[in-house]
Amino acid sequence: MVKLSQGPAVAGPSGSLGIMRFFDADTSGPKLSPEFIVGVAIALIVVVLIVKLITPV
């Protein structure tokens, strides 16, 4: 059996309070809604498909 050394213990935040503080922090980046991101992704897919259909191989 291998014994681990008893070094200084590293403790995380107590419960999920630290994680909630992290996700509640406001950043200075742009605020984009999920609907906008999905719309842009679908539009990009449609543009790529149209370009593939109209260009000869």
pLDDT digits (tens, 9 = 90+) for 3-13: 555 656 555 55
**CA dist 51 → 2, 19, 37, 39, 47 (Å):** 61, 44, 21, 18, 6
CA–CA separation, 13 and 34 (whole Å): 29
Q: Is residue 13 part of a domain?
A: no
| Segments of the chain with pLDDT less than 50 | none
Can you give the pTM of this predicted structure? 0.51
Task: Report the b/e string of 17-32 with b at 16+ CB within 10 A.
Answer: eeeeeeeeeeeeeeee
* 55 within a domain of the structure (yes/no): yes
Q: Which amino acid is at 9?
A: A
Residues of the domain holding 57 = 32-57
Asked if residue 42 is part of any domain, the answer here is yes
- Measured in residues, the chain has a length of 57
Number of domains in the chain: 1
| Residue 10 is assigned to a structural domain of this protein | no
Average pLDDT, the chain: 78
Give residue 18's pLDDT.
61
In a domain, 46, yes or no: yes
Task: Answer yes or no: is 20 within a domain.
Answer: no
